[in-house]
Each structure stands twice: as C-alpha cells, then as structure tokens.
Amino acid sequence: MVVLLAILVTQVTGCYRGHSPKVAHPAIVTASEWGSNPDPIPADRAQRPDRITIHHAGVAWRAGDDPIQKLRGLQEWGKRERQWPDLPYHYLVAPDGRIFEGRPTSFVPESNTNYETRGHIGVQLWGNFEEQRVGREQLEATVHLVAWLCDQHVIPPSTILGHRDVADGTVCPGNDLQRYIDEGDLRVWVAEMLARRQPDIVLKDALPDGPVEWIPVAASDRAVP
Ligand SMILES: [Zn+2]
C-alpha cells in the first residue's frame, strides 16, 4: 500500500514538476547579467504563453555593434516614448548566436503594430532581413531557443509565426528570415529538437530579388559580455 501510494504521488507530481526537459537549456545572458533596468509591469499584463512570434530589429546590424548597448537603448526608448515598462520582446538573438533575456515571458509583449499580443512569446533577431541574410549562428541559436521555449511552456511548434503573419502593416521579420517560417523549416527543426534529435539546419540560397549581403559576425562580436 505504501509503495503504491509512493508510485501514485510520484506520478501525480511528475505531471506538474517532474517535466523532464527534452531540450537542453540554451546559454542565455539573463536580464540581470546584462544590467536590465525595467519598471514594474502591472499585474493585469500577466499572461500564460501559448505561441511564439518571430521578429527582426528592422535595423541593419553592423560589424562591431554591441548588443548590450542596443538592449539598453531599446529599453530606455520604450520607457520614454511608449510608456513600455520593459523591453517589448522576451528574447533577443545576436548574429553570433548569443541569446539575451528581455521581458519575462509571464508578461504580455509590446508592439508598434495592432494585434492581440496576449499569449505571445516575442523572439527578436537583430538585423534587417529585408537587407541582410540571416546567418548560421543566429539561426541555430533561434532554433534552440524556440525549441526550449516550446518544451518549457508546452507550446506546439505549429504556433510559430512571423510578425507579418499576425499583424498588418509590417514586413517584419524580413523576407530572408520569413521564408524559414513560410516554408516550414523552423517548425520542422524545432519539432526535431523536441523529439530529442539534432536538426539538420541548412541555409537557403539567396532569394532571386535579394537580399544578398550576409549579416556580419565579426570577431569582436563574439566576446562574452
Ligand atoms: Zn516584429
């Protein structure tokens, strides 16, 4: 009887707490590690994430750009100009594959466009993928991050969309990145990781009408913060 009870307790708690991760925790520079300075987020902005939305910065990334400077600049601009208490995105991915934590996923993201943002986890890749091509490190880090998020929050890969799929009036996340969503690659790679397999991430050829310029990944960008 005692043994049976122990098994039952293990099984019941296992449903909630014993979730054994399918995807390893990616390396993430936490908000406190990069020196985030958010305002408190009102309790009515709390959310339970159920989908993933991919963004680009919309500004070309240049060799030597500093992600931490960009994080601070975006956070301060949002607070000052938009009354956003914290960064609009939950995670931000640099061209060298470093992942930075933004707003906690337990709060609704922000947007300059009009759509129902509740439930979304916003993942932004630095760069402008209307003008630049997404590179291997950034794409691989994004796949790992999104797979880990799907695993942690029990989100199906079918919910992964680009910003332009959910809102009018934006080209975000740019043609060179959006096609990995349109053609299903991102969802397949994430599903592979959720099945504990290593995805075969293959970069596509340049689009006939561009962009052709690769996003720069300079040696100076690789330094650990
Ligand atoms: Zn966007």
Report how far ligand 1's centroid is from the alpha carbon of 106 (Å): 19
* Complete domains list, the chain, with CATH: 22-222 (3.40.80.10)
Report how far ligand 1's centroid is from the alpha carbon of 55 (Å): 4
Report how far ligand 1's centroid is from the alpha carbon of 113 (Å): 8
| Residue 164 predicted with pLDDT over 60 | yes
What per-residue confidence (pLDDT) applies to 219?
Answer: 53
The arithmetic mean of pLDDT across residues 135-162, rounded, is 98
Extract the runs of DSSP E, i.e. beta strands, from the chain.
28-29, 51-56, 91-93, 99-101, 120-125, 132-133, 160-162, 213-214
β-bridge mates for residue 213, sequence order: 132
Q: How confident is the model at residue 7 (pLDDT cuts 50, 70, 90)?
A: very low
Report how far ligand 1's centroid is from the alpha carbon of 195 (Å): 29
The arithmetic mean of pLDDT across residues 149-177, rounded, is 98
Report how far ligand 1's centroid is from the alpha carbon of 129 (Å): 11
Write the CA distances from 12 to 4, 115, 155, integer angstroms: 12, 38, 21
Report how far ligand 1's centroid is from the alpha carbon of 174 (Å): 9
Report how far ligand 1's centroid is from the alpha carbon of 131 (Å): 15
Report how far ligand 1's centroid is from the alpha carbon of 115 (Å): 11
Task: For residues 65 and 68, give the distance between their C-alpha atoms in angstroms, rounded to a whole number.
Answer: 9
Q: Can the peptide bond before residue 21 be classed as cis, meaning omega within 30 degrees of 0?
A: no
What per-residue confidence (pLDDT) applies to 10?
Answer: 42
| Residue 46 predicted with pLDDT over 90 | yes
Place of tokens 């993201």: 109
The pair of structure tokens assigned to 145 is 């991050």
Report how far ligand 1's centroid is from the alpha carbon of 59 (Å): 11
Mean pLDDT of the chain: 91
Q: Can the peptide bond before residue 109 be classed as cis, meaning omega within 30 degrees of 0?
A: no
| Residue 62 predicted with pLDDT over 90 | yes
Report how far ligand 1's centroid is from the alpha carbon of 47 (Å): 19
| Residue 172 predicted with pLDDT over 90 | yes
Question: How many residues does the structure list for the chain?
Answer: 225
Please give the backbone phi and psi of residue 106, each rounded to the nearest 5 degrees, phi first.
Answer: -80, 0
| Residue 16 predicted with pLDDT over 60 | no
Report how far ligand 1's centroid is from the alpha carbon of 24 (Å): 27
CB 89 within 8 A of CB 55: yes
Please give the backbone phi and psi of residue 125, each rounded to the nearest 5 degrees, phi first.
Answer: -105, 130
Taking the CA atoms of 183, 187, 190 and 194 in sequence, report the sign of the dihedral they define.
Answer: negative
